[in-house]
Chain A
């Protein structure tokens, strides 16, 4: 039996001013799996994340048409609280974005924004989040030191932990390992495997290899169009579309 779809995009079109970044996208993503959304630059992957988290609302030059359903409810309905939505869909950015404050304050940042003040609860949530990203052992003795002193890989895991601390339903990661070394990348990929039991994960991988390594399902986008989606193994071994085949085999891109 197939799992119910967590996210459904229907006839999604996205414009930055004159430029159309997503063309008639249809996509279904199930809960508790890792979905890799991949494609070359300007293929619309990051744009899809911005539409999904509604971070695109911050830019008045964007226009979204069509539907994105989260658990069957359109995220752009008038009665949807955008802050609630963003707490449900945690986003991790390409560049590690530790804030200039202590490690603890970084993880507690979103929790405090949501109004949690209880110190013990904060401590508990921070610890859990850091353990989920396997960062706890490395930083437990220096939680009050500035997060900017951590290495790039540690900072990125901190950012993932900060997102996890909010207990989101879905985690979207935009090339989280693009700026990291292979060892840090491996650590992040390992923790993502553990996390998929609790969360739905959508990742824009920085390489095709990463998509192949970690995802259960994948979708290939090209110039704003979804070319093909399917289980990662099928997509990689037996792509239906010639363009997918060309991209995966390195004939372009």
Chain B
């Protein structure tokens, strides 16, 4: 029996709708669950005090600061390398064996589990470079980990800039460098920013790689060479060691809220940038 095209369409529509609604519901459920469990813990004291007695008392200020520091190191290191590599691959070389190898390596790096990065960071930064468990080791490890993301997204962004923009710049006597900074970069910027923000999100949320490289010291780090405990690690320890589920949820809720705001901010930056030129 033949099904009429309109019937097929109705069925397809129904399936697609159901799936989308399920996904949204699931997401909504997770977020509300965490927020409901966590928000009551989110008092002013919780946000502004350092943890005391292994996290049973006090707040999570040192973990917030640690998270920011580790993320900062990672972004500052990974952005120039990532964006630079993307520009090299797209603007400075033609397809060759070398570019294929670089691209393949970046893709492979993206698929490695974060605990492996943690192990690498531990052996290389913590032990070999004698940086110890520190903000720096954690940040550098995260930099290596988010590098592929930044390379890939930047590369896509650069490739999506119309070739005509480059030709206009060259035809008006622009040098290679001028062409990249004035014709390519402004148009690629929103895409590159998206990649960096995805990187920030991963840094904020990462546990396994950070616990092995930045350590889990609950104290406020005084320098980049001090060990630190990020929020995600704090959450993990609170829950894993049964210290306080309540405080684990509080930390988780704050994490969710922070990631939400990072994404919101990123969207706003990108939209403003696009609106100005179109």
Chain A residues near B (Cβ < 8 Å): 53, 55, 58, 60, 83-87, 90-91, 93, 95, 97, 99-101, 109-110, 112-114, 146, 148-149, 159, 162-163, 166
Among B167, B174, B187, B278, contact of A113 (Cβ-Cβ < 8 Å): B174
Measured between beta carbons, the chain A residues less than 8 angstroms from B178 are 113
A91→B183 CA distance, assembly (Å): 17
A55-B167, A93-B164, A113-B178 given; A100·B278 CB < 8 A: yes
Among B170, B186, B277, contact of A86 (Cβ-Cβ < 8 Å): B170
Measured between beta carbons, the chain A residues less than 8 angstroms from B172 are 86-87, 90, 109-110, 113, 162-163, 166
Q: Across the interface, do B171 and A83 meet the contact criterion of CB distance under 8 Å?
A: no
A100-B187, A100-B278 given; A113·B173 CB < 8 A: yes
A99-B183, A101-B186 given; A55·B164 CB < 8 A: no
Q: Across the interface, do B164 and A84 meet the contact criterion of CB distance under 8 Å?
A: no
Q: Across the interface, do A93 and B94 meet the contact criterion of CB distance under 8 Å?
A: no
Q: Across the interface, do A83 and B175 meet the contact criterion of CB distance under 8 Å?
A: yes
Q: Across the interface, do A87 and B278 meet the contact criterion of CB distance under 8 Å?
A: no
Q: Across the interface, do B164 and A83 meet the contact criterion of CB distance under 8 Å?
A: no
Q: Across the interface, do A146 and B278 meet the contact criterion of CB distance under 8 Å?
A: yes
Among A55, A100, A110, A159, contact of B277 (Cβ-Cβ < 8 Å): A100
| Closest-CB distance, B96 to chain A (whole angstroms) | 11
| Closest-CB distance, A58 to chain B (whole angstroms) | 7
Q: Across the interface, do A60 and B175 meet the contact criterion of CB distance under 8 Å?
A: no
Measured between beta carbons, the chain A residues less than 8 angstroms from B263 are none
Measured between beta carbons, the chain B residues less than 8 angstroms from A110 are 172-174
Whether B12 is near chain A, meaning CB under 8 Å from some CB there, is no
18 A–B contacts from the bound complex (CB under 8 Å): A55-B167, A86-B173, A90-B171, A91-B171, A93-B167, A93-B168, A97-B162, A97-B165, A97-B168, A99-B165, A100-B187, A101-B186, A109-B169, A110-B172, A113-B172, A113-B174, A148-B278, A162-B172
A162→B183 CA distance, assembly (Å): 14
| Closest-CB distance, A80 to chain B (whole angstroms) | 13
Q: Across the interface, do B278 and A55 meet the contact criterion of CB distance under 8 Å?
A: no
Q: Across the interface, do B175 and A148 meet the contact criterion of CB distance under 8 Å?
A: no
Q: Across the interface, do B187 and A83 meet the contact criterion of CB distance under 8 Å?
A: no
- Nearest residue, chain B, Cβ from A91: B171
A99-B183, A109-B182, A113-B182 given; A86·B278 CB < 8 A: no
Interface positions of B from 155 to 194, Cβ below 8 Å from A: 162, 164-165, 167-175, 178, 182-183, 186-187
A95→B164 CA distance, assembly (Å): 9
Instruction: Classify the secondary structure of A's interface with B.
Output: helix
Interface positions of B from 230 to 278, Cβ below 8 Å from A: 276-278
A252→B276 CA distance, assembly (Å): 48
Measured between beta carbons, the chain B residues less than 8 angstroms from A100 are 186-187, 277-278
Chain B residues near A (Cβ < 8 Å): 94, 162, 164-165, 167-175, 178, 182-183, 186-187, 276-278
Measured between beta carbons, the chain A residues less than 8 angstroms from B173 are 83-87, 110, 113-114, 166
A109→B276 CA distance, assembly (Å): 16
Instruction: Classify the secondary structure of B's interface with A.
Output: helix
Nearest 4 Cβ contacts at the A-B interface = A110-B172, A100-B277, A87-B173, A83-B173
A159→B172 CA distance, assembly (Å): 11
- Nearest residue, chain A, Cβ from B183: A99
| Closest-CB distance, A82 to chain B (whole angstroms) | 8
A55→B173 CA distance, assembly (Å): 10
A83-B174, A99-B183 given; A113·B164 CB < 8 A: no
5 A-B pairs besides A86-B173, A113-B178 with CB distance below 8 A are A93-B164, A100-B278, A110-B174, A113-B175, A146-B277
Measured between beta carbons, the chain B residues less than 8 angstroms from A55 are 167, 170-171
| Closest-CB distance, A22 to chain B (whole angstroms) | 19
Q: Across the interface, do A58 and B168 meet the contact criterion of CB distance under 8 Å?
A: no
A3→B170 CA distance, assembly (Å): 30
| Closest-CB distance, B275 to chain A (whole angstroms) | 9
A163→B168 CA distance, assembly (Å): 9
| Closest-CB distance, A215 to chain B (whole angstroms) | 22
Measured between beta carbons, the chain A residues less than 8 angstroms from B278 are 100, 146, 148-149
| Closest-CB distance, A229 to chain B (whole angstroms) | 25
Q: Which of A83, A93, A97, A113 has the largest count of B CB atoms less than 10 A from its CB?
A: A113
Among A60, A90, A97, contact of B94 (Cβ-Cβ < 8 Å): A60
| Closest-CB distance, A193 to chain B (whole angstroms) | 23
Q: Which of A84, A85, A109, A159 has the largest count of B CB atoms less than 10 A from its CB?
A: A109
A84-B173, A113-B182 given; A148·B167 CB < 8 A: no
| Closest-CB distance, A174 to chain B (whole angstroms) | 10
A100→B263 CA distance, assembly (Å): 25
Q: Which of A93, A95, A101, A146 has the largest count of B CB atoms less than 10 A from its CB?
A: A101
